[in-house]
Amino acid sequence: ILIHQPHMGGLSGQATDIDIHAREILRMRDITNQLLSKHSGQKLDKVEKDVERDFIMNAQQAKEYGIIDDIIYKTR
């Protein structure tokens, strides 16, 4: 499982257009962080820190973080 902040990609154009897109990315980041905090049970400041860079978790770590409810194991 990977969590990270929104990303702008190869944005180009007028400075005002870039500013508009940057503000929208920041708004989306704040909303996403709040939702992740609310639904995972993690504190908002922890979520903000964790998504600052790519944050990779295995299934067990994602369950402990609160991102997933269960791990499904395939039985043979």
What kind and span of H or E run contains 35?
A: helix 15-40
User: What is the number of other CB atoms lying within 10 angstroms of the CB of residue 47?
Assistant: 21
| DSSP 3-state of 71 | coil
pLDDT digit string (tens) for 18-63? 888 889 999 999 999 999 999 999 999 999 999 999 999 999 999 9
Tell me: pLDDT of 8 over 80.
no
Global pTM value: 0.81
Stronger pLDDT, 14 or 37, i.e. the higher one: 37
- Fold for 14-76, please state it: 2-enoyl-CoA Hydratase; Chain A, domain 1 (3.90.226)
pLDDT value of residue 2 = 96
Domain boundaries defined on the chain:
14-76
| DSSP 3-state of 60 | helix
13, with CB counted inside 10 A (0-12, 13-18, 19+), is: exposed
The residue assigned the tokens 């990977």 is 2
